Structure 1
Amino acid sequence: MQTTIVKLYSLEYKAAKTYWTAALFVLGNIALPQLCHTVHLGGPTWLPIYFFTLVGAYKYGWRVGLLTAVVSPLANTALFGMPLAAALPAILLKSVLLALFAGWAAARFRRASLVLLAAVVLAYQVVGTLGEWAFIGDLQAAVQDFRIGFPGMLFQVVGGWAVINLLIRK
Structure 2
Amino acid sequence: METTVKLYSLAYNDAKTYLAVSLFVFGNIALPQIFHLIPQGGITWLPIYFFTLVGAYKYGWKVGLLTAVLSPTVNSFLFGMPLPVSLPAILLKSVLLALFAGLAAAHFRKVTVWVLLSVVLAYQIVGTLGEWALKGDFYLAVQDFRIGVPGMLLQVFGGWACINKLLKN
**Quick one: which amino acid aligns to residue 87 of structure 1?**
S
**Stretches of 4+ moved more than 3 A in 1?**
none
Is 1:129 the equivalent of 2:128? yes
Q: SS of 1:158's equivalent?
A: helix
**Quick one: which amino acid aligns to residue 69 of structure 1?**
A
User: Which position in structure 1 is the counterpart of 2:66?
Assistant: 67
**Quick one: which amino acid aligns to residue 140 of structure 1?**
Y
Asked if structure 1 preserves the Cα contact closer than 8 Å seen for 2:3 and 2:110, the reply is: no
Q: How does 1:67-146 map to 2 (within 5 A)?
A: 67-146=66-145
Q: Distance in 1 between matches of 2:104 and 2:38?
A: 33
- Displacement of 1:5: 1.7
Q: SS of 1:169's equivalent?
A: coil
Q: Distance in 2 between matches of 1:102 and 1:83?
A: 22
User: Which position in structure 2 is the counterpart of 1:17?
Assistant: 16
Is 1:164 the equivalent of 2:163? yes
**Quick one: which amino acid aligns to residue 40 of structure 1?**
P
Q: SS of 2:90's equivalent?
A: helix
- Extract unaligned runs of 5+ from structure 2: none
- Displacement of 1:10: 0.2
Q: Distance in 2 between matches of 1:115 and 1:61?
A: 19
Q: Which TM-score applies when normalising by structure 1?
A: 0.98
Asked if structure 1 preserves the Cα contact closer than 8 Å seen for 2:61 and 2:99, the reply is: yes
Q: How does 1:31-42 map to 2 (within 5 A)?
A: 31-42=30-41
**Quick one: which amino acid aligns to residue 150 of structure 1?**
V
Q: Which TM-score applies when normalising by structure 2?
A: 0.99
- Displacement of 1:4: 3.1
Q: How does 1:51-62 map to 2 (within 5 A)?
A: 51-62=50-61
Q: Distance in 2 between matches of 1:33 and 1:126?
A: 22
Matched positions, count = 169
Q: Distance in 2 between matches of 1:42 and 1:30?
A: 14
RMSD: 0.9
Q: Distance in 2 between matches of 1:30 and 1:4?
A: 28
Asked if structure 1 preserves the Cα contact closer than 8 Å seen for 2:3 and 2:112, the reply is: no
- Extract unaligned runs of 5+ from structure 1: none
Q: Distance in 1 between matches of 2:24 and 2:142?
A: 26
